[in-house]
Structure 1
């Protein structure tokens, strides 16, 4: 697998499915830039909450998005740092208060338009791994490699619970499960760019898989498609 690839990778899926971790590792193995689009929406949500802006005040959110500079930096160690107007907010945007409100911010069409604009500029190199909730369907519909990661609600809640405990933050498993379910509904039913697999995405259930297994599956499919020169046409809509 030494041959240099080109062609962006789009990874979508609900909260807790392992998108970010898998995307980060995949980008490292491919030598690609990793872009966590969810972190961008979280950064804007964090800024709105910090300013006391109501997350349902659409006009204020749009104005905020237009004036906000969000920058992602991928370190050599594979760690993604998130900056909002020059301030590093990598840890701050993972707080539960942000998690509870980010869907409300992300549902605003003009907010999405602004952030999608930034995301597409970052993907212009044609060598990025980008994860989110509408990457394959809206942000990078022409990406030759598309994946949709999912997992059971119980497993996703447990992962988030362990993540918060490891970070030293208070956590209640049942509350987390309720919040993830609520976000699933919001993301899937929103009118603009709802959460759903692209027609040609490969669906991977990560419930019983180690993250390395998930990445290996994606790598195998990427190189198979590359070697046969079929791009996104092979295994369209496949579940593995």
Structure 2
């Protein structure tokens, strides 16, 4: 589809819990529409990776205000389909399970959320973007023309996460079992929903989509159809 001029482009916000298919769906929707895809989860994972590699996790648990030191001079940006942290490609490193276990805590810290929100709003200001995360439709872009909230059964989400880890692991014996992944996902769901700042929740205007039994292609078709309906209304209005 040809790129639209700005007044005929929209912001698409896709929120939902871990492993509900947000990132893959958002990426495919952006490609289909000729929009820019912004993986906000990767941005939070990048900050988490920096905290882990800096050896600050224990310090931050007892003194979370110290996260401002971590954020000083922080650079997180995208180069094509790669994510760069302080000039280094961390596309693969941020998907490691050690990052998955800590990202909910790091992303709950207000200075982190404030910094990421400003970056994300700057990236999406020109419209024609698809963003996925947990607070895109509620906090980052509550005025997004299309807000979608993806959900999925926890077993299905654990299976997706297992498949993702299996692709990256050269040793099957190192993979966690499905039950452990389910527990980690449920723990993260609870932490994301109960955090003080920008908790995971569905915007009243968001369209909920259960992806438990849907393929990525079907999810993409459905979201693109929603976007096309909105674009037609904008063009006719």
Length-normalised TM-score, structure 1: 0.90
Q: Which moved more, 1:184-193 or 1:62-71?
A: 62-71
Q: Residues of 2 paired with 1:222 and 1:177: CA distance?
A: 32
Give the C-alpha shift of residue 229 in structure 1. 3.0
The verdict on how the C-alpha distance between 1:2 and 1:81 changes in structure 2, with shifts beyond 3 A counting, is closer
Structure 2 counterparts to residues 152-231 of structure 1, below 5 A:
152-168=153-169, 170-229=175-234
| 1:137-188 deviation line (CA, Å, top 9, x unaligned) | 0001111011011100010001001111111162321111110000000000
Higher relative contact order (CA 8 A, sep 6+): 2
The verdict on how the C-alpha distance between 1:159 and 1:228 changes in structure 2, with shifts beyond 3 A counting, is same
1:33 aligned residue:
36
Give the C-alpha shift of residue 2 in structure 1. 5.2
Length-normalised TM-score, structure 2: 0.91
Q: Which moved more, 1:39-48 or 1:1-10?
A: 1-10
Q: Structure 1: where are the runs of 5+ without partners?
A: 75-79, 231-240
Q: Structure 2: where are the runs of 5+ without partners?
A: none
SS in 2 for 1:43: helix
Whether the aligned pair in 1 keeps the contact of 2:152 and 2:212 (CA below 8 Å) is yes
Q: How many residues are matched? A: 226
SS in 2 for 1:196: coil
The verdict on how the C-alpha distance between 1:178 and 1:30 changes in structure 2, with shifts beyond 3 A counting, is same
SS in 2 for 1:67: coil
1:7 aligned residue:
10
Q: Which structure is higher in helix share?
A: 2
Q: Residues of 1 paired with 2:83 and 2:234: CA distance?
A: 35
Whether the aligned pair in 2 keeps the contact of 1:13 and 1:133 (CA below 8 Å) is yes
| 1:26-67 deviation line (CA, Å, top 9, x unaligned) | 000111111011101100100110010024231222221232
Give the C-alpha shift of residue 224 in structure 1. 1.1
